[in-house]
Structure 1
């Protein structure tokens, strides 16, 4: 897999990557890309790299491709996106939503905009983030973390964030005929029948259904998108 994307780093590039991993504040995904490039340069296979770094094979493939087709900076950076620049990238917005849906910090009953802004500064490379930016992004996703009538992700840990970024990276990639992306989803659907015939609608009155129903088993509904 990915034989044509062979990573050969110069000594300057190796030193830069080792310095990056040696200290300082950097996003976890950037550090993982640096680890991928160093391991690939050392001759490790894609499977070995994915296992040791803790990412998917597609992330290894994309990182190596960006380096070979571009340069070190491109391999370490996010893919550019068209349109007006937003304070938070798509992946950062997804991380914000996941964080807001997780449990609040210890000693806090719920998330506030200030707490979320502070959490995002710790999780990303932003030096500061306004509460208004957080509020707008949450509003776009219909989230009000200070309210309780929601069903959300119970825990956002390092493994969850890494897998989330892997999926978002994949969706952001341009189509590659040699590596097609197949979206597949399934959901069990309950088959329900009416115990009594509904009463048809009439002028001034809605159609009415009885509250009782019959269970007719379940069926698996498979959806495939091309």
Structure 2
């Protein structure tokens, strides 16, 4: 059908079109289609109608042609267009999924959208859509480590019991050392954050030494007792235990959750603990540092203060750490533990079963 510069609109159609334009419930796309037809009926050319409606000349001609073919009802429905390509068959989709899950690409450890597209003869966008629909992300890998500690169950129940049902007249403290914190200074000053641009920092740095943060997180309140020391031997751990002893009320028992680092089991540490019976050490299972809540605080201070910091010396770094501790303790918020021991053990059992089934 050629260009249509003039349309004869019957009175009944005009009334219906004007009703559509006036009705507040009419979708806007239908309103401007109706206006196109009404303005054309007034004798306006396509370019003039396009200016009045605020659309293109091609759009005006398309909807005038639609009205000429299907009347007012043709304006109420969007045009349907045949797909540019035939949809992928279920067999093709299943082949991509199976290859992603069970095969490796040549000379590589994981598929990319383009390597998969090259093998299957699909476009990389088709591979992307299949992976997205099936929740497949070959480019990602997560690390894990299942504990092989024989008393794993007993230790999980002990530590989680302290979190969910702490003893009366006692403090539960999650204790650990964040060792080898480096005082790094950037070789050049970076650019600040601004609209449309992330802050920048150089990829290289100058090393000015290291320090170790000893921290004891009060599980109930979220406050953190911390101090920095050069090393993390049993001597330093004993100094920190004495600091905890001085900083806490003497009438309260202290239940310390610690990992299996040899320093925590040194004979001199055991001897000191024997002389201070209000101290009770509870060990997390081997390879299960996630059970110690103080690790969550270490992640927080690393993210908020250390990772992007620039420190010209170890004292500069230690000053920043102590300042962060003081700021944190001014408005502490506890990390709330919610997982029960049974839920953790069931999850670990499922993970072991899955690994055994794969090997």
TM-score, normalized by the shorter chain, greater than 0.5: no
More helix by share: 2
Normalising to structure 1: TM-score of the pair? 0.34
- Report which of the two structures shows the higher radius of gyration computed on alpha carbons: 2
TM-score normalised by the chain length of structure 2: 0.22
